[in-house]
Chain A
Amino acid sequence: MARKKLYFEDVKEGDELPSFTVENLTRTDFVKYAGSSGDFNPIHHDQTFAEVSGNPTVFAMGMMNAGILSRLVADYAGLENLRKYRVRFATRVWPGDSVTCKGKVTKKAVENGEKIIEGEIAALNQKGEVAIQGSFRAALPSRG
């Protein structure tokens, strides 16, 4: 099952990355990410601790959201072509929230012989609030 390969020639500035939504994140999802990442900060899985820390409920790890968002660029540009991935954390993601990932290409250039694309990406909750803002850089193969 070969993936659709993205070539430098296929991209133009302004192109949108195929968007997707991860629906209804649950406490169980947070716990699974705790296990896979080793991030056992109780604020993300222990309701009592979350409340004592001034939060209505537990909330998702920022890096979990960053992981969900990373699929956007890996699917588009190819995991092996990724050169840089950057995220800035804005709003928290709570149990029951959905996360929509989208982005667009902002730059296409040849640098030091590499065929480079760069883009801006974001993860938004169901209210349209930005949970994460980010950017990526990838070096693409050429058809030539």
Chain B
Amino acid sequence: MADKSDIGKVGKPITIRIEAGKIREFAKSIKDPNPLYYDENVAKAEIGGVMPPPTFLMTLAHWDEGEGRPHVQMDLRRVLHGEQEFEYLKPVYAGDVLTAVTKVADVYEKTGGRGGTMTFVVMDTEFTNQKGERVAISRGVTIETGQVVAR
């Protein structure tokens, strides 16, 4: 089980190139017809280039083999994705190379209803671009319930 001693644990830095084709595929899969994702000329004229959809950076979580995520003991049968937040500090464009570092920002408990005591694990991922600028922060809250969740 995760506990306070996990706070501050850091995963390995992960580097990923933001690709226009992947942005297009992602936009299609969330059924977003916005031409900014499909037409490079429109994107260039209007916003300076092809930018990824707001939740695209989440794909980084599945990009590596798991080494980017700090190791925290959790029972996967009792884990839920509770919340996700993105903060956008500078624009990200197709062609950028981002480096992401994830750390455990917080661990806390709450007494819930059916699930008993719930443990909340907050992980922050900071994205830095090829110029060394901090461009985005992604914050995820994972909940470990006290018992196997009745689904």
Contact = CB atoms under 8 A, between A and B. Distances in A.
B55 A63 contact: yes
A32 B28 contact: yes
Contacts of B58: 37, 63, 66
Given A36-B28, A79-B34, A70 B55 contact: yes
Interface of A: 1-3, 22, 29, 32-33, 35-40, 53-55, 62-64, 66-68, 70-71, 73-75, 78-80, 82-89
Chain B contact residues: helix, strand, loop or mixed: mixed
Contact of A36 (B59, B81, B83, B88): B59
Contacts of B31: 22, 29, 68, 71
B84 A79 contact: no
B34 A89 contact: no
Nearest to A83: B88
Contacts, number: 111
Interface of B: 22, 25-26, 28-32, 34-36, 42, 46-48, 51, 53-55, 58-59, 61-63, 80-88, 91, 150-151
A49 to B, nearest CB: 12
B53 A67 contact: yes
Contact of B83 (A3, A78, A88): A88
B25 A86 contact: no
B29 A29 contact: yes
Nearest to B31: A22
